């Protein structure tokens, strides 16, 4: 049972570190995109809400790919990015977000008849980033994500986008998509090059596979944070290593239940992570597609960990400290959290 006053989490200044660009498209945004590109996705808002009602992981993939197919032009990219920023800032008090982008699925070098130029993609996200900071007070940064299911060609293309078409807001290099059958060692040289250019390493690992995938992400990819890391709870030595090295786990509780990475919220390993001394951050992953928000994920974490308002504020501070925000932005948000908690 929540021990938090109503509205406390909504007003708490926060950082969001694990949230996907296309996966953040709400029914409102998809409705607009579907109206621009009539076809298989309904543009009626009520029909879309039913379309978004989560049934299983296969349905999530269906919805995700349908939304990817609607983001076809630089104008679509700019609209999506700006509106995602609006929804993070308004009502959720997100002050800083690292948005995981997958430029490969927009540039589509494997299908150039459908793709856009990387220069146009970069200009669109950067224009939205600048506008979001000016209009919403939200500082956005980018994580360029390899879609692992496309293998090394997508990794090499993503590295090219990061090195040779680098947007000003790019801070990190990631790896998403399915884990089963997509070994981490094959991406070592690509991550080495990204890290040598000054980008941080933040691959997904251990969401749908065991602890060895996390070990591989640490060993082969130089991971500085781990996306999900759910299966780390199965390996006490791994938990001890993560705690000793201060390597944060980006925890997304509702997502983990929706994708069946864990059976239920009650069985989520978040308490085991905290008990082991691992740094955790709370995140929303693909919020509209999993019927959640960052606010709701903080409420879930508070229930799982039995936290009061001071404890929830500490979770918010942990995310800020684990971020790759500029020092002045990090200091400002931490001061805002202190001010907020002392005044409510």
| pLDDT confidence bin for 225, thresholds 50/70/90 | very high
**pLDDT single digits (tens) 179-220:** 989 999 999 999 999 999 999 999 999 999 999 999 999 999
Per DSSP bridges, beta strands 170-176 and 139-147 are parallel
Tracing tokens 């807001």 back to the chain, one arrives at: 169
Lowest mean pLDDT among 149-153, 161-165, 249-253: 149-153
Q: Decide which of 3.30.420.40, 3.40.50.2020, 3.40.50.2300, 3.20.20.140 is the CATH code for 8-25+71-343.
A: 3.20.20.140
Per DSSP bridges, beta strands 204-205 and 200-201 are unpaired
Closest CA to 291 of 338, 258, 251, 330: 258
The SS3 of residue 16 is strand
Is 207 an active-site residue? Answer: yes
**To which H or E segment does residue 226 belong?**
strand 226-228
- Would you state the pLDDT for residue 123? 98
Contact 256, 207 (CB under 8 A): yes
Paired residues of 96 in beta bridges? 15, 139
Paired residues of 144 in beta bridges? 101, 173
Contact 319, 14 (CB under 8 A): yes
Cβ–Cβ contacts within 10 Å for residue 181, how many?
8
- Would you state the pLDDT for residue 227? 98
| pLDDT confidence bin for 39, thresholds 50/70/90 | confident
| pLDDT confidence bin for 6, thresholds 50/70/90 | confident
Global pTM exceeds 0.75: yes
The SS3 of residue 250 is strand
- Would you state the pLDDT for residue 63? 80
- Report the C-alpha gap between 74 and 125 in whole angstroms: 9
115 or 1, greater pLDDT: 115
- Would you state the pLDDT for residue 1? 45
3 or 167, greater pLDDT: 167
Choosing from 207, 224, 250, 297, the catalytic residue is: 207
- Report the C-alpha gap between 62 and 54 in whole angstroms: 10
Q: Is the dihedral of CA 68, 70, 76, 81 positive or negative?
A: negative
Mean pLDDT, residues 308-329 taken together = 98
- Would you state the pLDDT for residue 2? 54
């Amino acid at each position: 049972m929540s021990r938090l006053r109503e509205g406390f989490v909504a007003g708490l200044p926060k950082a969001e570190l694990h949230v996907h660009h296309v996966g953040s498209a709400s029914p409102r945004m998809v409705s607009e995109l579907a109206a621009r590109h009539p076809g298989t996705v309904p543009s009626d808002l009520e029909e879309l809400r039913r379309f978004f009602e989560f049934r299983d992981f296969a349905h999530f993939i269906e919805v995700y790919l349908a939304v990817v197919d609607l983001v076809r032009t630089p104008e679509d990219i700019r609209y999506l990015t700006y509106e995602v920023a609006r929804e993070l800032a308004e009502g959720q008090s997100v002050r800083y977000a690292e948005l995981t982008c997958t430029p490969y699925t927009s540039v589509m070098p494997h299908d150039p008849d459908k793709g856009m130029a990387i220069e146009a993609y970069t200009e669109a996200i950067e224009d939205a980033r600048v506008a979001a900071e000016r209009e919403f007070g939200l500082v956005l940064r980018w994580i360029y994500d390899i879609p692992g299911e496309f293998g090394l060609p997508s990794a090499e293309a993503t590295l090219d986008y990061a090195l040779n078409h680098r947007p000003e807001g790019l801070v990190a290099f990631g790896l998403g998509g399915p884990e089963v059958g997509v070994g981490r060692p094959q991406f070592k040289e690509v991550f080495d090059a990204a890290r040598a250019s000054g980008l941080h390493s933040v691959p997904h690992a251990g969401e749908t596979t065991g602890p060895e995938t996390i070990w591989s992400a640490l060993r082969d990819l130089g991971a500085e944070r781990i996306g999900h890391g759910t299966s780390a709870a199965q390996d006490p030595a791994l938990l001890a290593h993560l705690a000793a090295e201060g390597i944060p786990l980006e925890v997304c509780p509702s997502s983990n239940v929706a994708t069946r990475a864990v059976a239920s919220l009650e069985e989520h390993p978040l308490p085991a992570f905290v008990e082991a001394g691992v740094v955790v951050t709370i995140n929303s992953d693909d919020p509209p597609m999993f019927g959640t928000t960052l606010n709701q994920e903080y409420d879930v974490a508070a229930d799982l960990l039995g936290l009061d308002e001071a404890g929830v504020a500490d979770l918010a501070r942990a995310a800020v400290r684990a971020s790759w925000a500029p020092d002045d932005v990090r200091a400002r948000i931490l001061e805002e959290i202190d001010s907020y908690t002392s005044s409510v």
